[in-house]
Amino acid sequence: MRFRTRARRDEPEINLIPLIDVLLVILIFLMITTTYSRYTELRIQLPTAEAETVPQRPREIVVSVSASGEYAIDKERVGARDVAGLAERLRALAGTAAAQAPVLIVSADAQASHQSVVNVMEAARVAGLSRLTFATQSGGTR
């Protein structure tokens, strides 16, 4: 005789819904973070062009200003320190230049006074030279 009744045990089951949720989140993350190499580059064909020859460079007149305020035009010392004397010398050099107006390059010492450089600029204006530039050196060396 059997006095005990057997309790029926339920079979254990694996719940797949949380597993599917986690896998979908991982799949979405991978889809968003994936880079597609074939879309990251553009295949373009650049146009071609033929350039004309570079026109002749204009004549350059170099005016050097020393730290003591002395002037040199094209490596020749100029005795005049006033604007009128500089303008006269610049006008003489500009008259011998080609048909195109020459470029005046001011090469001043770092210790030269501002007034010395302004005098060169004023002399260029009086001489009729409108193309003016300043020479500099790269900051790496002194």
Task: Tell me the per-residue pLDDT of 3-44, one tens digit each, with 9 for 90 and over.
Answer: 666 667 778 888 899 999 999 999 999 988 887 665 555 566
Closest CA to 67 of 100, 125, 109: 109
pTM of the full structure: 0.56
Closest CA to 57 of 105, 17, 9, 13: 105
Residue 108 falls within a domain, yes or no?
Answer: yes
Count of domains forming the chain: 1
Domain residues for the domain of 130 are 60-134
Task: Please give the residue that has the higher pLDDT: either 80 or 117.
Answer: 117
pLDDT at 121: 92
Residue 12 falls within a domain, yes or no?
Answer: no
Residue 23 falls within a domain, yes or no?
Answer: no
